[in-house]
């Protein structure tokens, strides 16, 4: 007979998991609060920030560019037959342009960065935690939160919008290439049509959303790595959960962003 007393409920695995989830949310909120407290107080670690911007921005260009190119290419190739069927193939640049700039570009780039950057930060900080490098930093008089966490979160927040713009342009180029080969549409005509179709209501929310995506990726990666425990196994767990949690939060942020955008721009 199963025990349904309140005590048994409190001891159950499901209850513990739910409790753990809310504790994690609470800890993450506190971590975010500490970031905002530390980001505005000196000393500022500009050199480390630049290094992180290079690591997270410049070194992600190839991956983001390649993914964007393939997305643009595939999206156009897959949509062509349907649009031809409805005699609407001339709307291709508009459709691809708007969908990439508004949604696909930011979300795909953020997911790629969650995989590359959040896991990287989680593993790096986790390994620094278990090998006492973070303690060594603290003892040497450097605030490790400021040096490791603030710089990384700032770098992802600043770099992600730039990566999104880069990814969008490459995706549009991929799409234009298909249209050029299959539909004899010149690159100039394609891009003119895309930019005519786009308005500020497409660009501004997407850019603002990208800042939040970058913040979430940096925050979750740092949070998981900074509080990593359980030795080397914990490093793997930190990297893994950083990607899962960051990806989940990206979709939540995206949902909120679309909801808010709808209020201001009536999508």
Partner 1 sequence: MNSKHMEKTGIVATKETQNLESKTNGKAVIRIKDVCKSFGDNKVLNGFNMELYEGENVVVMGKSGSGKSVMIKCLVGLLAPDSGYIEVMGKEISTLDRQTLDELRSDIGFLFQGSALYDSMTVRENLEFPMRRHKEKLGYVSDTTSLVLEALENVGLAHTMDLMPTELSGGMKRRIALARTLILKPKIILYDEPTSGLDPITAKEIIELMRSIQNKYGTSSIIITHDVDCARVISERMILLVDGINYAEGTYAQLSVSKDPKVDAFFKK
**Which residues contribute to the site for partner 1 (CB under 8 A)?**
43, 124, 127-128, 131-133, 135-143
Q: How far is the CB of 227 from partner 1 (least distance, A)?
A: 15
Cα 168 versus chain centre, distance: 15
Unique residue bearing structure tokens 């407290």: 37
* Cβ-based nearer residue to partner 1, 135 or 196: 135
CA nearest neighbour of 165 among 217, 109, 205: 109
Least distance (Å) between residue 127 CB and partner 1: 7
Q: Whole-number minimum distance, CB 34 to partner 1, in Å?
A: 13
C-alpha torsion angle, residues 85, 86, 89, 90 (rounded to 10): 160
d(CA 99, CA 87): 20
**Sequence-separated (6 or more) residues with CB below 8 Å from residue 38:** 143, 145, 146, 149, 150
DSSP 116: I
Of the pair 27, 135, the CB lying nearest partner 1 is at 135
Q: Give 2 or 140: the residue with its C-beta nearer to partner 1.
A: 140
Closest approach, Cβ 215 to partner 1, in A, equals 23
Residue nearer to partner 1 on the CB measure, 20 or 256: 20
């Amino acid at each position: 007979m199963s025990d349904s007393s309140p005590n048994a409920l409190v001891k159950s695995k499901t209850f513990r998991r739910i409790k753990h989830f809310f504790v994690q949310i609470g800890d993450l909120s506190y971590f975010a609060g500490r970031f905002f407290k530390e980001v505005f107080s000196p000393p500022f670690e500009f050199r480390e920030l630049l290094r992180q911007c290079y690591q997270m921005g410049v070194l992600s260009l190839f991956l983001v560019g390649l993914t964007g190119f393939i997305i643009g290419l595939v999206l156009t190739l897959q949509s062509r037959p349907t649009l031809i069927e409805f005699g609407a193939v001339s709307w291709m640049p508009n459709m691809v342009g708007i969908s990439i700039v508004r949604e696909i570009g930011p979300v795909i780039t953020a997911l790629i960065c969650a995989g590359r950057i959040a896991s990287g930060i989680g593993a790096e900080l986790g390994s620094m935690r278990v090998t006492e490098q973070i303690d060594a930093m603290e003892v040497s008089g450097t605030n490790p939160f400021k040096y490791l966490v603030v710089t990384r979160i700032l770098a992802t927040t600043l770099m992600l919008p730039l990566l999104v713009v880069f990814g969008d342009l490459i995706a549009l180029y991929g799409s234009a290439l298909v249209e050029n080969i299959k539909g004899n549409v010149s690159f100039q005509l394609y891009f003119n049509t895309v930019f005519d179709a786009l308005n500020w209501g497409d660009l501004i929310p997407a850019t603002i959303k990208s800042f939040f995506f970058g913040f979430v990726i940096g925050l979750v990666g740092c949070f998981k790595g900074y509080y990593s425990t359980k030795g080397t196994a914990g490093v793997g767990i930190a990297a893994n959960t950083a990607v899962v949690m960051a990806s989940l939060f990206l979709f939540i942020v995206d949902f909120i962003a679309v909801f808010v955008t709808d209020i201001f721009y009536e999508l």
